Amino acid sequence: MTDFRNKKIWIVGASEGIGRSLAKKLAAAGATLILSARSMDRLDSLLEELKGEHLIVSLDVTEGKSVERAWEKIESLKFVPDIFIYNSGYYEPMSAMNCDFEIVKKMLDINLYGTFTVLSKIIPTFLQNRKGHIVLVGSVAGYSGLPRSMGYGASKAGVINLAESLYCDLKKQGIRVQVVNPGFVKTRLTAKNTFDMPFIITADKAANYIFKGLTSSSFEIRFPWFFSTLLKILRILPYPLYFFLLRKL
């Protein structure tokens, strides 16, 4: 079981929603946090709510120079993390009939390409130390194609695939990899949805699932159980049956 005391944890995407709630739980468990996001105001307000000494680092994952500056600051302060959590995300509900490719690009840039950009700094250090823990936040929307999920679903499918590849490559190097696949979580992003969201949970409850999962030996942390299991079953069905059941659901 992971003891978070004396652990340094870098959360990218800590200013709102799941990241903010998770930061509070990890700080309460004794971890020292590096908090990153674009909104420094929100990070400052989060810092005031946390016990302990923590570091805030401004970061725009879509800008290579921003990632460079953030990593240089972390290294200069000898604050290299033991655990890295990539939680940055952007979402717009979108179907093929109303597709805006600039917004699709933004989702891919933040949700997927940004992951690669930050990992390009983390992985060499973890390899050199032959230890580390990488946690990527995907989504059950990445399991298979869903209605009104153009762009977002593809980006999260990429995150899941990336986490799987990292697990295969890094396990023998002493580096642990996990992927988090939430269902619907009540945040400012899902507030954009105009459709019913089954089994929706709060950001605090989602953070509880992740906190518990970080201490487990599981590769995947998924929740809520029934909804995520249903989508996992759907993904292995033959396509005619999958599309039929999806229409019914």
The β-bridge partners of 189 are: none
When pLDDT is averaged across residues 44-68 and rounded to a whole number, the result is 95
Other beta carbons within 10 Å of 184: 19
Per-residue model confidence as pLDDT tens digits over 98-148: 999 999 999 999 999 999 999 999 999 999 999 999 999 999 999 999 998
Nearest to 3 by CA among 162, 215, 205: 215
Output the CA torsion 151→152→157→158 (10° steps). Answer: 70
When pLDDT is averaged across residues 37-59 and rounded to a whole number, the result is 95
Taken in order of first residue, the domains within the chain and their CATH numbers are 8-248 (3.40.50.720)
Per-residue model confidence as pLDDT tens digits over 205-242: 999 999 999 999 999 999 999 999 999 999 999 999 99
Two structure tokens written together for 13:
């995407």
Q: At residue 2, does pLDDT exceed 80?
A: no
- pLDDT in the model for residue 29: 96
Three-state secondary-structure class, residue 211: helix
The H-or-E segment that residue 190 falls in is none
Phi-psi group of 203: left, alpha or beta (phi > 0 → left; psi -120 to 50 → alpha; rest → beta): alpha
The β-bridge partners of 220 are: 179
Q: Using CA of residue 249, residue 17, residue 139, residue 109, what is the dihedral sign? A: positive
- Give CA–CA dist 207/140, Å, rounded: 16
